[in-house]
Amino acid sequence: MDFPNNWQRRCALTVDHTKVPINVVDAVLLLTETNVPAEMLDGGIYSSRSDGGDIRCSSDKAGTIQLAMQIVSITTGGSPALEAYVKVPLISSTVDTVYYIWYHNPIATMPLATDPYGSQACFVDFKIAYHCNKSGANNPDASANVNDGTLSGGTSDVAGKIGRAIAFNGTTGKCLSVNNIGITNGDRTLSFWVYLNNTNQNSMAGWGSNVAHGQWNACIRNLHWYLWAYGVDDWDLGISPSTGAWVYVVVTYQASTDFHRFYVNGVEQTAHGSPVTWVANTTNSLFELAHQLDGANNYWMNGSLDEVYVFDNLKPAQWVTYKYNMFNSPGTFQTEGTPESVTGSFFLMFR
Amino acid sequence: MIDFSSVKPDDILRVTDETKEHEIATSVSASMDCASPDLVKVKEVKEKSVIVVAENGTEYEFISDTEGSLKELDITGATKDFPLEARAETTRA
């Protein structure tokens, strides 16, 4: 069914420019029950389908410019819940950005992941995008690379920072991507939400092998945040992580300067110097969560991970701030307007 | 909103400003780090932006916006409004 014909409800969504310190092209924005119309999820007369198959977004009010989306999870009626993402062509740092969400079309179905407006188009700029909404032993990658993670050992599905997350038991649980990450000595950005149960030595996320400068892992070591290179130039940030709370971590590497930066909850960590410089020569390998193999020793993360992203490019500090604002408080990052009926279109259902 | 309809790949753009030409050109020069700072080549035209390549090969994305102070951009003889914000840093995703 061609969008927007036969969609019956529409609502403006406004991104607060004060939460966006940099212009962002093809911004992938989070939709939750806190920033979409309540009627869309209440199971009532204007509600979306229970599987979210009729939820669409557009840049313009007329619906001529459809946007790529992914519905990760949805609950309508009862206790409404939503985790969805939409790729908006541009969000501005100087003026609020308005776009539109459409719903209530009982015969619409969600585009396939590979469709032009499907999930892979939404996450096309990502090397890996794990929502950590696992299915059995599979941790699906939303990006077009389809580099899913395979879970093993002690893992479980738990409430996340956004939607669901994956908990690792600290003794055997880990996740390994199906394919090599394909990033060796170039720019990169790694971001994720982590909930630590303790500060035992571990690797939260990363890749590489045990050769000098061959690892690139965001870790906990010496009870501190730690960027692991292997052999030399490891970076002990000298700052103890919080436990028992969700924390947003971003690590970047800029190949032209060899600068490494480490951000926690949107703030660059500079207590032990930053940026720290070494030449990353990371071994191309599988991307791994919650486990570190250091020589003959295994170290495991006891905690949970959510929204794990990898990019093969450098994100600036302003991007980190924007993403932190978006994830940490989606209801203030973006607000819904007043829903309205879409005039000039109707449909009949024949039984 | 900037009209990119007449811009096409391989166009040479000259970045100028109606009232602050030197200042803008100098600023763009510094940010673009190239010898002929105000000349860039169009690589790709998108819905709300233009990706250009400076002489040193660095790519920049010029963003259209609905508000903000405007400067002008000469496009191989034509003149287009272009937001001052176009020089601002941008990122993706």
Q: Which residues contact A212 (CB under 8 A, 6 or more apart)?
A: A229, A230, A231, A232, A281
Phi, psi of A38 (to 5 degrees): -60, -35
- With cut-offs at 50, 70 and 90, classify the pLDDT of residue A136: very high
Apex CA A230: angle with CA A228 and CA A234, to 5°?
A: 45
Chain A closest-CA separation from residue B89 CA (Å):
7
Taking an 8 Å cut-off on Cβ atoms, the answer to whether B89 and A22 are in contact is: yes
Query: Among all residues of chain B, which has the CA nearest to that of A313?
Result: B92
At residue B79, does pLDDT exceed 60? no
B residues 22..81 contacting A (CB < 8 A):
46-49, 61, 63-68
Cross-strand bridge partners of residue A243 = none
d(CA A116, CA A144): 11
Look at chain A and count its residues.
Answer: 351
A34-45 pLDDT tens trace: 999 999 999 999
Are A253 and A259 in contact, with CB atoms under 8 Å apart? yes
User: pTM of this prediction?
Assistant: 0.81
At residue B18, does pLDDT exceed 60? no
Residue A71: its H or E element: strand A69-75
A202-244 pLDDT tens trace: 999 999 999 999 999 999 999 999 999 998 889 999 999 999 9
- With cut-offs at 50, 70 and 90, classify the pLDDT of residue B45: confident
Are A285 and A209 in contact, with CB atoms under 8 Å apart? yes
Taking an 8 Å cut-off on Cβ atoms, the answer to whether B92 and A313 are in contact is: yes
Are A275 and A137 in contact, with CB atoms under 8 Å apart? no
d(CA A47, CA A302): 39
For chain A, say whether B3 makes contact (Cβ under 8 Å).
no
Are A283 and A223 in contact, with CB atoms under 8 Å apart? no
Mean pLDDT lowest among A143-147, A275-279, A293-297: A275-279
Are A281 and A213 in contact, with CB atoms under 8 Å apart? yes
At residue B86, does pLDDT exceed 60? no
Taking an 8 Å cut-off on Cβ atoms, the answer to whether B66 and A95 are in contact is: yes
The shortest CB-CB distance from B93 to any of A65, A90, A125 is to: A125
Mutation for testing the B interface, residue in A14, A15, A17, A23 having most B CBs under 10 Å = A23
Would you state the pLDDT for residue B52?
72
At residue B53, does pLDDT exceed 90? no
Q: How many CB atoms are closer than 10 A to CB B38?
A: 20
Residue A317: its H or E element: helix A317-328
> Span A158-168, mean pLDDT?
97
